[in-house]
Chain A
């Protein structure tokens, strides 16, 4: 399959302008004739739904939560980047662009990232106008903080609840349109399949999570804003409901999956405490502004943190990366923590933890200032661990957090299936092999407020076919498939619970496709996952019925998809014989243990095509052209 990324020609700073001029428009009076289905109500989905409704399109919005305000964007803590240069510290659109491309280890598309950096400033303006209460200085102007992978302060924040406030802003804009009757909102409704008519995405199949009713919805275009797939690992910082089903179902209908192996392991999470644990809790990266990360110099150190003198501490990030120090990017910080723990110098139960220590900052700034900056995070830490982080250093360890991979999209954010658009974390586009902190919120809102609402118009204007009715045979067929699958899941009545399978898959993925990967482990996983999948379809136990609120059934459907998707991730990871960003192959590292890219062979996006159940997917390559940024070995020293 040939991929056309549709990157506009011309100098990078003019591309988006030029493209906006060249795209066809739908005139205001005609917009109401076009309809769109938007799945997901996080930052990308809610902002897109609100903006498209404002423009006059007919919008149907879907979320599996009980209200659109609970989408997982809400949990983002630290902040949102924008090239405002309010701090006069030398920031610019170009610098944000450069930092993001470099942070992504030169595996993102230049043109998309540049557009993202350009739009970043409008996002902040828009959110402030909505009444998002960003942190401010005493003079009344907006405050900024620093984040990993950048040497300027360009991160806007609302205490440790930036995602919440931005999402509530988008939710309020969406609510306004629902109130005006411009958006039809379907809460507690899960998308279970996408429907193609004559090769174009024209609808979805949903399950009403309260009544169990399977329904078809048709529209002139479909937008997936369904987030990432970190829960393939079972334990992650994602919400319990986050899943790969929407994007994976689209993949099975022919959409290509881009770089599925690029996953981000966040360096600062609360360590795992026991087998019963259901999820991992993130401690915002912003904490690294004032916290210092260290482990004891000696293996088997028995003394509590406060009794270990300076001379016996290894502030390993400051030592290895003096210019970025504790603000080294996420992939590098995570690997360094793993290295220290693998070396037997980890702290806490099982030696799987490092200290994040605020005692110097508290001495310098006082407890009140620290509480003002991070109070809610400190409280959360205390509640979970029953320890007081103002007195003793926090213990942290890396955890799965974000997935840079996602459905392949062109510059218009449309997948290779005409009409199927993918925005936010669900697409692969902007973060390359590693995402910088505070860039996910930026991308979600850029896609939803300022990119998709324009580019989708071009699709409508070029494809004026009538909206198919849900009586179309393709919808009937899809409903039948979904119904049969549900019946099958409920009829197996085996011995193992869904969680049991999910946990086992999670262990396989974490051990073989986690922070460090190698050929042998990946081959083992690729062998084991299909076996586990087979066991699942023979021995899973799903209680309850189809026509009712049934959380076991919901989970079973999601885990069934993870059991296929995990294999695709491992295939991609095995195929990419280099290390880059979050994808660290132990065979490919520098003498100092840093990721060693192979630009001659792998400077491309791997886009995978489904070829049938238990068939090897086929890779299509999109070569990455770097016309502005020079490829270098990333250095944060």
Chain B
């Protein structure tokens, strides 16, 4: 089994800090094993840059197993590259051609400011979750886990939604920088499960308000988010969230839900 090696040209976005205007720089990536991952290819390029006294390319990465959601780069115009259902860390070089020029950019969306090179600030996602992406329950006193049977179909669908890794590829893929797929995944997971019922209406309203507040755009049904999602989260969840929102907005709450359970 002989291992093929690739010689590539990289056009990489370099930006010193949030205030810098940024620019593309070109690098040679020579002798890259086809079995290395895209990030390992960048490791090799960075190692060579460091040896030449140059600052390496900064990028977010951590688990390199496609689950932590750290990696965040647009490769040749596609969030996480052109392979469907794949994070950048799981994108392997056998998917590229020898001699190819590869363009690498950060997520581009106003609510995700660039911190440096390919690193962006995705704190907006955390702030959306903080407004309602949870079940209001304190630790302790939960009923027996089997006390409330949940139809397998609902549990499975909730799991499909919950598979979101919060990477932000949906936002980066959308011309409106909409976060609808991200928000709808959490809203759907919790509205499908009995545990999420009590705050169902309140949750969708709060999370959508937070999404707007952070400056994410709206959905115009082009489904680039689904195409770019490394976890194949379905746009059906956006439809589900819209339904949740209409129901919540058109029915009056008897009383405001209790938002905190502690002292």
Shortest distance in angstroms between A558's beta carbon and chain B's nearest beta carbon? 13
B114 CB, nearest partner CB in chain A, Å: 11
Binds B, one of A11-19, A159-167, A416-424, A433-441: A159-167
**Does A129 belong to the interface (CB within 8 Å)?**
yes
B15 to nearest A CB, angstroms?
A: 11
Let me know if A206 is at the binding interface, CB within 8 A: no
Interface check A367, CB cutoff 8 A: no
User: Would you call B116 and A549 a contact (CB within 8 A)?
Assistant: yes
Q: A411: shortest Cβ distance to chain B, in Å?
A: 20
A74 to B67, CA, bound (A): 7
Tell which of A175-183, A257-265, A506-514 binds the partner.
A175-183
- With an 8 A cutoff between CB atoms, is B10 at the interface? no
Q: How far is the CA of A68 from the CA of B68 in the complex (A)?
A: 10
Q: Is the CB of A499 within 8 A of B54?
A: no
Q: Distance in Å from the Cβ of A384 to the closest Cβ of chain B?
A: 7
Given contacts A138-B152, A175-B126, are A72 and B62 in contact (CB under 8 A)? yes
Contact partner, A125, options B64, B85, B143, Cβ 8 Å:
B143
Most buried by A among B64, B68, B123: B68
Establish whether residues B92 and A386, one from each chain, have CB atoms under 8 Å apart when the complex forms.
Answer: yes
Q: Is there an interface contact between A69 and B40, defined as CB atoms closer than 8 Å?
A: no
CB neighbors of B among A77-123 (8 A): 84, 86, 122
Closest to A47 in B: B139
**Known pairs A274-B35, A499-B47; A51 contacts B65 (CB<8 A):** no
Q: Is the CB of A175 within 8 A of B134?
A: yes
Residues on A with C-beta less than 8 A from B259 are 180
Tell me which of A53-61, A218-226, A307-315, A578-586 binds B: A53-61
For A32, the chain B residues whose CB sits under 8 A away are 263
Q: Is B6 an interface residue (CB 8 A)?
A: no
Contacts of B43 in A (CB 8 A): 276, 278, 499
Q: Are B115 and A75 in contact (CB under 8 A)?
A: no
A164 and B17 alpha carbons, distance in the complex (Å)? 31
Q: How far is the CA of A66 from the CA of B61 in the complex (A)?
A: 10
> Which residues of chain B have C-beta atoms less than 8 A from A276's C-beta?
32-33, 36, 40, 43-44
Q: What distance in Å separates the Cβ of B261 from its nearest Cβ neighbour in chain A?
A: 7
The reply to whether A279 and B64 form a contact with Cβ atoms under 8 Å apart is yes
Stretch at the interface among B155-163, B172-180, B217-225, B249-257: B155-163
CB of B209 closer than 8 Å to a CB of A = no
Instruction: Identify the interface centre among B16, B137, B190, B261: most chain A CB within 10 Å of its CB.
Output: B137
Instruction: Give the number of chain A interface residues (Cβ < 8 Å).
Output: 92
Q: Are A239 and B63 in contact (CB under 8 A)?
A: yes
For the complex, is B215 an interface residue (Cβ under 8 Å from A)? no
CB B95 to nearest CB in A, in angstroms, measures 9
B17 pairs with A130, CB closer than 8 A: no
The answer to whether A137 has its CB under 8 Å from any CB of chain B is yes
Contact (Cβ within 8 A) B262 A239 = no
Report the separation of the CA atoms of residues A20 and B196 in the bound assembly, to the nearest whole angstrom. Answer: 32
Find the residue from A28, A69, A142 having the highest chain B CB count within 10 A: A69
- In angstroms, Cα B63 to Cα A451, docked, is 28
Q: Which residues of B contact A543 (CB under 8 A)?
A: 49-50, 53-56
* Residue B121 lies at the interface, judged by CB distance under 8 Å to chain A: yes
Partner of A140, one of B16, B129, B150: B150
Please, which residues of chain A bring their CB within 8 A of the CB of B66?
Answer: 380, 383
**Contact between A239 and B64 (Cβ–Cβ < 8 Å)?**
yes
Q: Counting CB contacts under 8 A, is B102 at the interface? A: no
Instruction: State A450–B142 Cα separation when bound (angstroms).
Output: 13
What residue of chain A has the Cβ atom nearest to residue B195's Cβ? A131
Asked if A70 and B68 make an inter-chain contact with CB atoms under 8 angstroms apart, the answer reads yes
Q: Are B262 and A133 touching (Cβ within 8 A)?
A: no
Query: Of residues 192 to 223 in B, which have CB atoms within 8 Å of A's CB atoms?
Result: 193, 195-196
Cα distance A535–B68 when bound, in Å? Answer: 34
Q: Are A552 and B263 in contact (CB under 8 A)?
A: no
Question: Does B130 touch A at the CB level, under 8 Å?
Answer: yes
Interface 1/0 per residue, A152-189 and B, CB below 8 Å: 00000011010111001001110110111010010100
The answer to whether B134 and A172 have CB atoms under 8 Å apart is yes
Is there a chain B Cβ closer than 8 Å to A371's Cβ? no
Residues of B near A380 (CB, < 8 A) are: 65-66, 90
A51 to B141, CA, bound (A): 13
Set A141, A159, A237: member contacting B149, Cβ < 8 A:
A141
Closest to B159 in A: A133
* Chain A residue at minimal CB-CB distance from B121: A66
- Select one of B3, B139, B166 contacting A67, CB under 8 A: B166
Least CB distance, A495 to chain B, in whole angstroms: 8
Residues of B within 8 A of A180 (CB): 259-260, 262
Q: Tell me if A135 counts as interface (CB < 8 A to partner B).
A: yes
- Indicate if A354 sits at the interface (CB-CB under 8 A): no
**With A124-B145, A125-B145, A180-B260 known to touch, is A136 a contact of B155 (CB < 8 Å)?**
yes
Query: What's the Cα separation between A333 and B190 when bound, in Å?
Result: 39
Kindly state whether residue A551 has any CB partner on chain B within 8 Å: yes
Q: Beyond A128-B195, A129-B135, A165-B159: 9 further Cβ-contacts under 8 Å?
A: A68-B126, A75-B65, A125-B142, A131-B158, A164-B165, A172-B129, A173-B139, A386-B94, A497-B50
The 7 closest A-B pairs by CB, nearest first: A140-B149, A179-B130, A172-B134, A129-B142, A125-B142, A133-B159, A128-B145
What are 8 sample pairs from A and B whose C-beta atoms fall under 8 A apart?
A67-B166, A74-B67, A133-B155, A133-B189, A159-B163, A237-B65, A282-B65, A384-B37
